[in-house]
Amino acid sequence: MPKLVSAWRGLTEQPDVLLTNALLLNIALILLGWNRYKSMNTELGERRRSEEEARRLAQIDPLTDCYNRRSIAPAMAELLAEAESQGRALAVILVDLDNFKQVNDLNGHNTGDAVLTETSERMGDILPADALLARLGGDEFAAAVVYDPVMPGKIEHLASLLIERVAQPIVVKDTVIEITMSVGIASSVNLVEPADAEVSTRLIHKADIAMYQAKKQGKNRLFWFEPAMEQELRFRNELESGIRKGIAKGEFVPFYEQQIDLETGELVGFEMLARWLSPDMGIVGPDIFIPIAEEIGVVAEMSEKLMQQAFEDAKRWNPRLTLSVNISPVQMRDPWFAQKLLKLLLQHNFPPSRLDIEITESALHDNVGLVRSMITSLRNQGVKVSLDDFGTGYASLSQLRSLPFDRIKIDRSFIRELNTGEEGSNLVDAIISMGNGLKMPITAEGIENEVVLEMLRKMGGLKGQGYHYGRPEPADEVLTRLHNSGLLSGSETRTSDRLPRPIVGNRAV
């Protein structure tokens, strides 16, 4: 090397060429190796960082930096094992934001993301330092907190603080968002199953059941898990499955309740009422299955099949007898409902003039414009439309004047008050006077005895129905009664000077 440097400087003669080339080649190999070593170190570092980031993303929710559904379970199991070794317990607090979908729908998903981020930060500020917080998905969070099992009140107080803190307004780009949350709490103290790898999953499941109970009881509140809740939820799931199968098997059938002209005592029609002929539970009333059918989205299919059967049944009655059918508020949200109903009438060759559709007050508040359009379309084809259960909702006089109803049905709760004396009588009389002023005939529901019947008769020309005239009956029993009264299709009244009479129990009155 010194000779090579001297030769380059012109001080000595040229060194051996072979040795010079060998030296230069060695230097090049060393530089190349060093460069490759640096490149490999850089590549390994980047790969290590990528793996760490992938591992972090697999365990952490990217929006809120909380644990995610996958990672919270093992972390919770580890925290539970540590708590039990210290004689303490683990509480799982499951949180679901109320009506969060509306926040996204009205303000956009960016605002919704900001609300979720702020919510997680507020919860993190309140939870103890050793607590775990996870976003399970959507607007659902879970917190795991170690506590002394003899002092469960501290957990309840903590959950109350979370509810209070999250309920405070959130400002996102000058938009004020107010949101509440429902909370379910489950404790490892109440676990009867052995502790295993799935213990955290079971705790989250139980807290979720308690949270569902909080939603059911009005939201913005907390509930501790109780075994009865799980039994109720299991029964609910069985009902949902039974309803779906029952619709397919034709287990839902129409029953019929008489409607009477109170002045003349004449039978003028029937109201169709749904019944579920369940193989396991017997005859089930609509108050049990209709709300569930509405929630799971099968009420329209159920109603259509019931109406098809009712149209065929009513075709065998005297043509002047009307058929009343209750329509769910869910069905009224379908802009094509009127067209579907008219198509059914055409398919079954059932006269629209014999059909009376009954709509509850609650249906008016979803979309009054759509309801008005449907009512007008049906009435133009000859279908009558009644406002059902009047007085139990929030229908205003302006709505009654603007919506073209043919009839008002007074809810049975008001008719029941006729037994309470003058105050109840005045209330019913006021509703009847209002109906008269709006030129809308009145039907009284829930007539159960002769005393109430006589009071209603004195209030003017009304239609009525109730157990006083007999309970709702299946189609074959109705046909038998109509046959005995001469009121089947094609039959004539018994005498020209005698009106048909309603049937009470097993006798006519």
Mean pLDDT by 10 residues, the chain (509 residues): 65 65 80 83 75 64 90 89 90 94 89 93 94 93 94 93 93 89 91 68 92 91 92 90 96 97 93 95 93 94 97 96 94 92 96 94 77 91 90 65 84 80 74 84 91 86 91 95 90 40 43
CA distances from 163 to 168, 182, 211, 220 (A): 9, 8, 13, 7
- Does residue 231 lie within any of the structural domains? no
Q: Are residues 259 and 271 in contact, defined by beta-carbon separation less than 8 angstroms?
A: yes
* Residue 27: strand, helix, or coil: helix
DSSP state of 195: P
CA distances from 471 to 339, 456, 463 (A): 33, 20, 17
- Does residue 162 lie within any of the structural domains? yes
pLDDT at position 430 is 83
Q: Which residues pair with 387 in a beta bridge?
A: 359, 408
What are 137's two structure tokens? 């998905």
Q: Are residues 218 and 435 in contact, defined by beta-carbon separation less than 8 angstroms?
A: no
- Does residue 209 lie within any of the structural domains? yes
Do 54 and 98 belong together in one domain?
Answer: no
Distance CA(398)–CA(395), nearest Å, equals 8
pLDDT at position 54 is 57
Residue 202 CA neighbour count, 13 Å, CB half: 17
Do 13 and 142 belong together in one domain?
Answer: no
pLDDT at position 508 is 39
Do 33 and 154 belong together in one domain?
Answer: no
Do 109 and 129 belong together in one domain?
Answer: yes
- Sheet of 132-137, strands arranged across: 132-137, 140-147, 89-97, 181-187, 222-224
What are 130's two structure tokens? 């050793």
- Does residue 300 lie within any of the structural domains? no
Distance CA(293)–CA(489), nearest Å, equals 34
pLDDT at position 353 is 95
Reported pTM: 0.71
Do 208 and 126 belong together in one domain?
Answer: yes
Answer with the one of 225, 251, 280 that is the final residue of a domain. 225
Tracing tokens 């043919």 back to the chain, one arrives at: 406
Answer with the one of 170, 204, 225 that is the final residue of a domain. 225
Q: Are residues 252 and 190 in contact, defined by beta-carbon separation less than 8 angstroms?
A: no
Q: Are residues 325 and 360 in contact, defined by beta-carbon separation less than 8 angstroms?
A: no
Which residue, 484, 502, 503, is CA-closest to 494?
A: 484
Phi, psi of 491 (to 5 degrees): -85, 165
- Does residue 416 lie within any of the structural domains? no
What dihedral do alpha carbons 496, 502, 504, 507 form, nearest 10°? 20
Q: How many residues make up the chain in this entry?
A: 509
Tell the burial category of 354 from Cβ atoms under 10 Å away from its Cβ (0-12, 13-18, 19+). buried
Which residue, 278, 295, 276, is CA-closest to 286?
A: 276
Q: Are residues 91 and 145 in contact, defined by beta-carbon separation less than 8 angstroms?
A: yes
Q: Are residues 148 and 89 in contact, defined by beta-carbon separation less than 8 angstroms?
A: yes
Do 86 and 41 belong together in one domain?
Answer: no
- Does residue 166 lie within any of the structural domains? yes
Which residue, 402, 332, 412, is CA-closest to 365?
A: 332
- Does residue 368 lie within any of the structural domains? no
Do 150 and 201 belong together in one domain?
Answer: yes
Answer with the one of 10, 37, 58 that is the final residue of a domain. 58
pLDDT at position 43 is 78
**Helix H or strand E segment including 132:** strand 132-137
Do 54 and 76 belong together in one domain?
Answer: no
Phi, psi of 440 (to 5 degrees): -115, 120
What are 336's two structure tokens? 């094509």
Host domain of residue 194: 69-225
pLDDT at position 503 is 45
Distance CA(348)–CA(345), nearest Å, equals 5
Domain count, the chain: 2
Which residue, 68, 65, 89, 224, is CA-closest to 159?
A: 224
Q: What value, to the nearest 5°, has the Cα angle with vertex 23 and ends 17 and 26? A: 140
- Does residue 179 lie within any of the structural domains? yes
Do 76 and 213 belong together in one domain?
Answer: yes
Do 13 and 93 belong together in one domain?
Answer: no
Do 188 and 130 belong together in one domain?
Answer: yes
Do 74 and 214 belong together in one domain?
Answer: yes
What are 120's two structure tokens? 């997680």
